[in-house]
Amino acid sequence: MSVGRHTLYNLAGSIAPMLVTVLTVPLYLHLVGNTRYGVLALVWTFLGYFGIFDPGIGRAAAYHIARLHNGSAKAREDVFWTAMAINLGFGLVGGLLLFLVAKPLFVSGFKMPAIMRAEVIASLPWLAASLPVSIMGNVLGGVLQAREWFGVSNAVNVGNALASQLVPLAVAYFFGPELTWLIPAILLTRVAGAVPTFLAVGHALPLGAGGGFRWALVSTLFSYGGWVTITNLLNPLFVSLDRLLIGSILNADAVSFYAVANSLVGKISIIPGALGSSLFPKLTRGSGEDSGRLASEAAIYLAAAMTPLTVLCIIALPIFMRLWVGADFAAHATPVGIILLLGVWINGLAFIPYSHLQAQNRPDIVAKFHALEVLPFLGLLWFGLHDYGLIGAAWAATFRVTFDAILLFAVAGRLDGWQRIIPGAALVIAAPFVAPTSFESPIIALSSMLVGASLVWAWFVAPRLRGVVLDRLSYISKLKAT
């Protein structure tokens, strides 16, 4: 099955939960309030950071199972059970440490109302218990990716995502907005969602071939996963540092403004994420030259897809935010979102060299780059927050991902035809200057022209993508004719 179809499966599996999130955020804000929603965002940020206890085994399992695509089912099952056992052990240790360190941190580390602080502390056992399940879930997802079961994987993920948004919302409506209700509801829903994922893995490997835990595989998995561990350690740091420092330096309301904007604009990353996931098994099995050619082509076509969407989102964001969450909230969140969108575009392109390096058994390069970026990012974030508030935090995040992308592209290999991407970058940079604040704005015609220009550029920069679109349109017209 083609990379294109797998990418469409991944996109569909991401868009459905995204739409539910867009529709439910205003309801959450209405039911629980800005401050409690900000506190909830801090809780998930804190829990996400404990993903460092995933020792990279999920990605290592995906790599080795993809390499065993035509191997024995028993060998694949050996990798699976060994990876699950390792992640269970790390998850239990991580859950215990989370329980021990969370209370003093939430007591004195973040600014929030006392009643909400008590609600979070009362929910800590739930947070700790959910960590092992979450970390083992990374292995389950890696197996489905390695076996290229993208259709089944995304169908299960869509159901789980819908439940994780709608069940807590129903709990807030019927039982109240207290975090002592919301946090257990969200975590129990996520744990229940692991069951259908495991059943899908049972068919994908398949299980039952006589495989089991193998000590000999532990070192093999860690030799790859050790570097991924560093990436897993640093990625949550990059994702969470801005919100954690905002909560410490500013307040919970500021976290809410930043988290909503970041969550909204970050949804565009479903496109490079979908493509990167579908490419990974093929990049893993291909030769160095073939994989490099495939990665170069993917980067050009990804830019063609990302540029018009990013330009449109930047231009539409001011009006959309006012209609979505109200003028007062939008006044704080919109500038943050526009700056972050610039970073989303360049970071999206970096998904290709990131996947390429890991697929070619070089996760060490990715990890070393991330380690190199930590201190500069921390200093820039601290300076930005103190001198420019939320805007400074947004620029720090955007500068960091830009630097990261430059490093990844430089090392992953020469990108053939990279000059074709330059006009797309110029269109993205121009978009904030013509973003209208209302439908009556005099620059709305200019902004519409810029969106049109980005579409024209994308149409001509990617001829194979253009051919696919024309073929699909022809197919649809034939169906209508019959």
pLDDT confidence tier of residue 82, bands split at 50, 70 and 90: very high
Q: How far apart are CA 459 and CA 158, in angstroms?
A: 31
What local confidence, expressed as pLDDT, does residue 418 receive?
A: 66
Q: What is the pLDDT of residues 239-261, one digit of tens each?
A: 777 887 887 788 777 888 888 88
Tokens of 364: 């060490």
Q: How far apart are CA 102 and CA 90, in angstroms?
A: 18
pTM of the model: 0.70
CA distances from 39 to 235, 257, 259 (A): 21, 12, 10
Name residue, tokens 């990302």: 306
What local confidence, expressed as pLDDT, does residue 470 receive?
A: 63
Q: How far apart are CA 417 and CA 465, in angstroms?
A: 15
Name residue, tokens 């959910």: 130
Q: What is the pLDDT of residues 407-425, one digit of tens each?
A: 988 887 656 666 778 888 9
What percentage of the chain exceeds 70 in pLDDT? 91
Q: How far apart are CA 453 and CA 462, in angstroms?
A: 15
Q: Give the N- to C-terminal CA distance of the chain in Å, as an integer.
A: 27
What local confidence, expressed as pLDDT, does residue 268 receive?
A: 85
Name residue, tokens 């995933």: 54
Mean pLDDT of 375-384: 90
What local confidence, expressed as pLDDT, does residue 395 receive?
A: 94
Q: How far apart are CA 278 and CA 100, in angstroms?
A: 39
Residue 184's contacts (CB-CB under 8 Å, 6 or more residues apart) are 123, 126
Residue 11: pLDDT over 70: yes
CB atoms within 10 A of CB 113: 12
Among 239, 236, 237, 246, CA closest to 111:
246
123-153 b/e with 16+ CB inside 10 Å = b? bbebbbbbbbbbbbbbbbbbbbbbbbbbbbb
Contact indicator for 190, 47 with CB cutoff of 8 Å: no
Q: What is the pLDDT of residues 426-474, one digit of tens each?
A: 999 999 998 888 888 888 889 999 999 999 998 888 776 666 666 666 6
Mean pLDDT of 58-73: 84
What local confidence, expressed as pLDDT, does residue 204 receive?
A: 86
Residue 238's contacts (CB-CB under 8 Å, 6 or more residues apart) are 370, 373, 377, 397, 400
Question: How is the chain split into domains, by residue range?
Answer: 1-233, 250-482
**What is the DSSP-derived secondary structure letter of residue 68?**
T
What local confidence, expressed as pLDDT, does residue 345 receive?
A: 94
What percentage of the chain exceeds 90 in pLDDT? 16
Residue ranges of alpha helices (H) inside 326-412 are 327-359, 363-388, 390-412
Tokens of 167: 């069940």
Tokens of 369: 């780059």
Q: At what angle do helices 215-249 and 252-265 cross, to 10 degrees?
A: 130
Residue 296: pLDDT over 90: no
Q: Give the three-class secondary structure for 148.
A: coil
pLDDT confidence tier of residue 343, bands split at 50, 70 and 90: very high
What is the average pLDDT score of the chain?
83
CB atoms within 10 A of CB 336: 25
Tokens of 149: 């079961």
Cα within 13 Å of Cα(294), Cβ side: 24
Contact indicator for 30, 325 with CB cutoff of 8 Å: no
Q: What is the pLDDT of residues 325-340, one digit of tens each?
A: 888 888 889 999 999 9
Tokens of 376: 């500069």
Q: How far apart are CA 459 and CA 442, in angstroms?
A: 28
Please report, for the chain, how many H helices and E strands are present, in that order. 17, 0
Contact indicator for 175, 34 with CB cutoff of 8 Å: no
pLDDT confidence tier of residue 1, bands split at 50, 70 and 90: very low
